Amino acid sequence: MSKYLVTGGAGYVGSVVTAHLLEAGHEVTVLDDLSTGFREAVPDGADFVEGRVQDAARHIGPSYDGVLHFAAFSQVGESVAHPGRYWENNVGGTMALLAAMRSAGVRKLVFSSTAATYGEPASTPITESAPTAPTSPYGASKLAVDHMISGECTAHGLAAASLRYFNVAGAYGDRGERHDPESHLIPLVLQVALGTREAISVFGDDYPTPDGTCVRDYIHVADLAEAHLLAMGAISPGEHLICNLGNGSGFSVREVVETVRKVTGHPVPETAAPRRAGDPAVLVASSATARERLGWTPSRADLAGIVADAWDFARARHAGG
């Protein structure tokens, strides 16, 4: 049994990772300021501390074996409108966390990075060697943290992994997506099925893809959580491991909408909308490095299963008001 600090553990991915750590028999403390997370999402059995990651020095000590870091602002549009918030929180917060870890002698870190570090890729599937050219302050802040972690590994012997996610979806029991505002496709389409949204907007139907709509790589949140536990066991002092995480298959916007119709049994009206600036036609990950270094392969790659889990969570939330 190990003892871990999970920053941002009241959020979507952080809470599911916390649940997996507890199920594996580990001791977990969640640090979250609840600015975007939810206290009730923190699994029973985890200690909870309400606070900012900038104050991690107050809450971490030598008894911890490692940190899993999810505390970040993550809305692309908001980052464009308010870039300073993202530099202060995502970059400044991580800088404070790394200093606190160094002071306490905690030398293992798994960081929640993002495919947004790549920007608009020249080719797919995207590997870790692809050029990094983020198109938003959000992506830039995550890339800056990746660089910061690399420096910490080289200078101070930190053992670290940055896991660059693609489109995380699905739910794990009573933990699922509940962003405000919601910007992810699957929960937005499910809102239409629930009757809380009139229609889903399809932004562009003339892309060079089989049905003309954008293609994205969707990874189940539980598969993602398992990769974090594997990464914690795979990292070595002085090395910064970077892994892309996706299911390796792409699904178009229209495929997602049609899958929601089949899973829910509800009509999902759609409206045509112009392309959004900066939306690449295809974003699909190569997870070869994660397979090789972590021994990880997604076991829940079926789109209908991902949607079904998200639908169960959405209905339960809707029924509960």
Mean pLDDT of the chain: 95
User: How far, in whole angstroms, is CA 50 from its chain's centroid?
Assistant: 21
Nearest to 294 by CA among 225, 218, 238, 235: 235
Q: What is the pLDDT of residue 278?
A: 72
225 backbone dihedrals φ, ψ, rounded to 5°:
-60, -40
Q: What is the pLDDT of residue 182?
A: 85
pLDDT tens readout for residues 62-97 = 999 999 999 999 988 899 999 999 999 999 999 999
Of the given ranges (6-10, 30-34, 164-168, 181-185), which has the lowest mean pLDDT? 181-185
Structural domains of the chain, with CATH:
3-168+219-245 (3.40.50.720), 170-216+248-285+296-316 (3.90.25.10)
pLDDT tens readout for residues 93-115 = 999 999 999 999 999 999 999 99
Residue 143, pLDDT > 90, answer yes
Q: What is the pLDDT of residue 75?
A: 87
Q: What is the pLDDT of residue 37?
A: 94
d(CA 32, CA 70): 9
Residue 127, pLDDT > 90, answer yes
Per DSSP, 90 falls in state I
Mean pLDDT of 19-33: 98
Structure token pair of residue 205: 């139907």
Q: What is the pLDDT of residue 276?
A: 83
Q: For the chain, how many helices (H) and strands (E)?
A: 10, 13
Active-site choice (4, 138, 172, 218) = 138
Whether 138 is a known active-site residue: answer yes
Q: What is the pLDDT of residue 115?
A: 92
First to last CA, the chain: 38
Quick one: what percent of the chain has pLDDT higher than 90? 89
